[in-house]
Amino acid sequence: MRTLHTIQELRAAISGFRNQGKRIGLVPTMGNLHEGHIALVEKAREAADIVVTSIFVNPMQFGAGEDLDAYPRTLKEDQSKLQAAGNDLLFAPTALEVYPNGPGRQTQVLVPVVSEGHCGASRPGHFEGVATVVTMLFNMVQPDVAVFGEKDFQQLAVIRKMSRDLFVPIEIIGAPTIREADGLAKSSRNGYLSAAERSLAPAVYRSLTHIGAALASGSDDFKALEDTARAELADTGFRPDYVNIVNSETLKPAAPGDRQLTILAAAFLGTTRLIDNLTVNR
């Protein structure tokens, strides 16, 4: 596996593979890799001949007071994990390489509708930062396929819409959420949890499964289900951000006739913000 730090190096390497007729896959990450990230690399390997994983802690998607400076940078450990997973190229640019004029002077990509509400409401500007950097990575790598985790459900919806609206010739693949044995979705931010908090954290997924069972049984009382879940999380020690039952395609509030529903949830446990989701087909 080669580790590259400049766009010039990246393009030269990819050009060589393209000349050999290779299909290129991209896995964008912010590093501090865990089994969920490695599953994305493995998914990309199934769909492409050459897998490029990027590691870039993107300042544009962090808001005021969020954990940009504290976000773990674990490049050596990440390199070892990617090497073992059969990754081909690791692209790990500096912020100056990506934003030579600074993030504040960067052209931005705004994706309407699906970026509104949920995490978009709680983290203003977040999805503009995500859409912008993903567009830039798409242009840098020009992959045939890109893989994103379904744990960040709204993010995946934003990227899918952006790609459709801008006629981006890249296949977007969503990979299922990887979970711990107790149901907690694997996340880099799980490392922020204390031992006591970690024991409580699976309650988010339990709440989702309770709602999912009710929806699968035909319940259309969405507000009551949301309110009950928020109350249960608060009683457990969380500070709920949102629990929303939505149409899986539009991410708008669910209507009784919707056949595919997704429950989106975010809650703080101590200072750590956990997100998760569950899709139900009826």
Is there a single domain that holds both residue 54 and residue 154? yes
**Dist CA 33 CA 51 (whole Å):** 16
In a domain? residue 104: yes
Indicate the residue among 116, 144, 175 that finishes a domain: 175
Is there a single domain that holds both residue 206 and residue 118? no
Is there a single domain that holds both residue 68 and residue 199? no
Tens of pLDDT, residue by residue, the chain (282 residues): 999 999 999 999 999 999 999 999 999 999 999 999 999 999 999 999 999 999 999 999 998 878 788 888 999 999 999 999 999 999 999 999 999 999 999 999 999 999 999 999 999 999 999 999 999 999 999 999 999 999 999 999 999 999 999 999 999 999 999 999 999 999 999 999 999 999 999 999 999 999 999 999 999 999 999 999 999 999 999 999 999 999 999 999 999 999 999 999 999 999 999 999 999 999
Helix (H/G/I), strand (E/B), else coil: 245: strand
Domain that holds residue 35: 2-175
User: What residue ranges in the chain does DSSP mark as E strands?
Assistant: 2-4, 24-29, 50-55, 89-91, 145-149, 171-175, 239-247, 260-269, 272-281
In a domain? residue 244: yes
Any idea what the CATH number is for the domain that residue 197 is in? 3.30.1300.10
Indicate the residue among 149, 175, 201 that finishes a domain: 175
Q: Which of 37, 118, 126, 210 is catalytic?
A: 37
Q: What is the pTM of this model?
A: 0.94
Is there a single domain that holds both residue 105 and residue 222? no
> What does R_g of the chain's alpha carbons equal in angstroms?
19
In a domain? residue 181: no
- The number of folded domains in the chain is 2
Is there a single domain that holds both residue 34 and residue 117? yes
For residue 26, count other CB atoms closer than 10 A to its CB: 28
In a domain? residue 183: no
Q: 37 an active-site residue? A: yes
Indicate the residue among 175, 209, 242 that finishes a domain: 175
